[in-house]
Structure 1
Amino acid sequence: MERPYKVNSQLLPAGFPREFDAHIYFSAEQRQQAETFRKAAIEQFAGLKVFVGEMIPEAIGPHPVPMFEINFPKELFSEVVLWLMHSRGDLSVLVHELTGDDHYDHTQAALWLGEAVELKYSVFKK
């Protein structure tokens, strides 16, 4: 039996295809906007293999500001990214593939929607 996968202390359902990740960043002033956007994402992708994580109210790993994540499989890339493009407002979003090489994923394989957030790349082991 496959065990659930932990993402930033949140459990993904067992068997969830972890192929792409989107980080939606927000400031203290944008928190309500981010919460509303998160709820909209849950509604938008209900019934699809899209995992919308909890609000993470502090810096974690390479992410220097609060955020929440959306995980999704390759087959839904266009649908999820187009929705993010059109619905994010002024929130910054990082989309990247999950290859197992975190440094590569967050640098060379990074796709930014909106203003890029300066990540703490030093946390990645080379």
Structure 2
Amino acid sequence: MSAAGAPPLRGFHAHIYFDPDQLAEAQALAGRAKARFRLAVGHFHLAPIGPHPRGSCQLSMNPETFAQFALWAAQERGDLTIFAHGLSGDERADHTAHVVWFGPSEPLDLSIFA
């Protein structure tokens, strides 16, 4: 168990947020991340989905890769925002307590976890 009895994080998702005119930029960033870190890249959602307020694409990684990805993302994201969260098995906690923002934070739709 990690701090305060919380379950350990078994991995991370990083969501690249983009507006329609940033799709090519988001695809290029995801492609570079995939090539560099051998990440699984999900579908490019052009509209909000789940708790995410804008278009997004999910990158999946293990904790060891996330440490390297975080350093890279902080410098390589350009004008894009990346929302990253841990994977503990508790969706609400993962999207509220186990989070890192690269760029400005944005409000999530947490009503889906009610």
Quickly name the TM-score band, shorter chain normalised.
0.7 to 0.9
2:109 equivalent in structure 1: 120
Runs of 4+ deviating beyond 2 Å: none
Q: TM-score, normalised by structure 2?
A: 0.84
- 1:20 equivalent in alignment to 2:12: yes
Structure 1: tracts of 5 or more residues without a match? 1-17
- 1:70 equivalent in alignment to 2:59: yes
Q: CA RMSD in A?
A: 1.3
**After the TM superposition, which residues 57-96 of structure 1 pair with which residues of structure 2 at under 5 Å, given as runs?**
57-96=46-85
Q: Structure 1: which amino acid aligns with 2:18?
A: F
Length, aligned pairs only: 105
**After the TM superposition, which residues 37-48 of structure 1 pair with which residues of structure 2 at under 5 Å, given as runs?**
37-46=29-38
Structure 2: tracts of 5 or more residues without a match? 1-9
Q: Structure 2: which amino acid aligns with 1:20?
A: F
Q: Structure 1: which amino acid aligns with 2:98?
A: A
Pick aligned residue for 2:22 from 2, 25, 30: 30
Q: TM-score, normalised by structure 1?
A: 0.77
